[in-house]
Structure 1
């Protein structure tokens, strides 16, 4: 196996970052944490765990995930979020790879948890994500929200990443509030205009997609929970986009 650099972006992740770094060091000989000016103990914990910390104000999802790449000593990059861990099968798989093809990136199946409950309904599993790539031929797209790795070829493996997405349902709602604000900001940066109908239309579309197309209607409580939270997220990010324009207009009038 060729040497790999692990990269994590953080903002106030003191509860998760230690376990994430330890997980990366199972297969990486270097870990870089790109911290968005955390106000808790994230940076100190990361350094204690042996990671190199680079502090950078948040640039958006894709640009932030790409920011640490030039600092890596290795061409192979393994990117995790702070609330993610490599499952045992992913560790075994990565250790077995010869990584001879720089144009081939590797995807993993993500297990999304709410507390200790693994949610598999309405598209929450297998939730394929590409996380291992060679920086000479691949990298994160410069999207400020929901970026992904673009590579010449991708091999989707059956190995897993454990994603401790939410501590509980209350935390899920809190994260929707945070992420919908980030998404609204990113959409405004891209020049997407306000719309009276877009929040409702996207919420309805999300509900249909999760309940019908993803089978949530037949998947009990978890299917309904995923559908409703996805619809709420969709509604709020477009409602907040409208609010950003309204606030900007108000400031200009003063």
Structure 2
């Protein structure tokens, strides 16, 4: 039977970390929490629940996770964020895969919560992520936002049933603040990669984002929540490209 280390990165996650770690009980053999010097009770709660806590000032999403992977004791790593938790079906699926012998990597479907409701359409679902992998064969990239897992070619990917429950978007204000922060990071990344944006793209890309989320991906089936999220996605697209345009103007300005 293979053994699994869970790696969780945190920063002031006292309201979430207990739910996350309790969902891992009986599924993994070790929990490593990489904590960005939280000022709340995150680290104390994690230690009380048996996690090994590494206090590490923020390096970035990917580097922070890679540090946790390097500190893990076991060959396979299950990567979670503090506001995520395994549902019962996914817990059983991971245990069955572990008991049968792990091979390759495993993808899960993430079920995102918005304002108290889990969203099953739009751009939020099925939101598949590879989260269970051999730590010597996978590395998180250094993207400042939406970090990705770099995997070798030819590694088999199996899909596990169940859901990774993502308790995000608690309030509209939280969503707007997060969209503003992430759009800044995304614009900076695009600019550094040499991407440029036209006024036409700034005008039409948000409209297409809304259409894709609400119509093509059937966000309308989630009612008012689906409408709100489609609007928020469109706004995030607008912010990202408008900020990229601003960076272009600043770079072109005479010095």
TM tier, shorter chain?
0.7 to 0.9
Q: Distance in 1 between matches of 2:192 and 2:64?
A: 15
RMSD after superposition: 2.7
Structure 2: runs of 5 or more not aligned? none
Give 2:80's aligned residue: 80
Whether the 8 Å contact between 1:112 and 1:124 is mirrored in structure 2 is yes
Structure 1 pair 57–239 and aligned structure 2 pair: CA distance change class (3 A): farther
Matched, 1:134 2:100: no
Counting matched residue pairs gives 251
Report the Cα offset of residue 237 of structure 1. Answer: 2.3
Structure 1 pair 95–32 and aligned structure 2 pair: CA distance change class (3 A): same
Structure 1 pair 176–28 and aligned structure 2 pair: CA distance change class (3 A): same
**Deviation digits for residues 77-136 of structure 1, max 9, x if unmatched?**
00111100000111111111136354x111112221124211222132222222111112
Give 1:226's aligned residue: 229
Structure 1 pair 181–214 and aligned structure 2 pair: CA distance change class (3 A): same
Q: Distance in 2 between matches of 1:241 and 1:36?
A: 29
Matched, 1:168 2:171: yes
Q: Which moved more, 1:110-119 or 1:46-55?
A: 46-55
Matched, 1:37 2:37: yes
Give 1:9's aligned residue: 9
Give 2:117's aligned residue: 117
Q: Distance in 1 between matches of 2:135 and 2:195?
A: 31
Structure 1 pair 66–205 and aligned structure 2 pair: CA distance change class (3 A): farther
Structure 1 pair 173–161 and aligned structure 2 pair: CA distance change class (3 A): same
Structure 1: runs of 5 or more not aligned? none
Whether the 8 Å contact between 1:121 and 1:226 is mirrored in structure 2 is no
Structure 1 pair 189–107 and aligned structure 2 pair: CA distance change class (3 A): same
Q: TM-score, normalised by structure 1?
A: 0.85
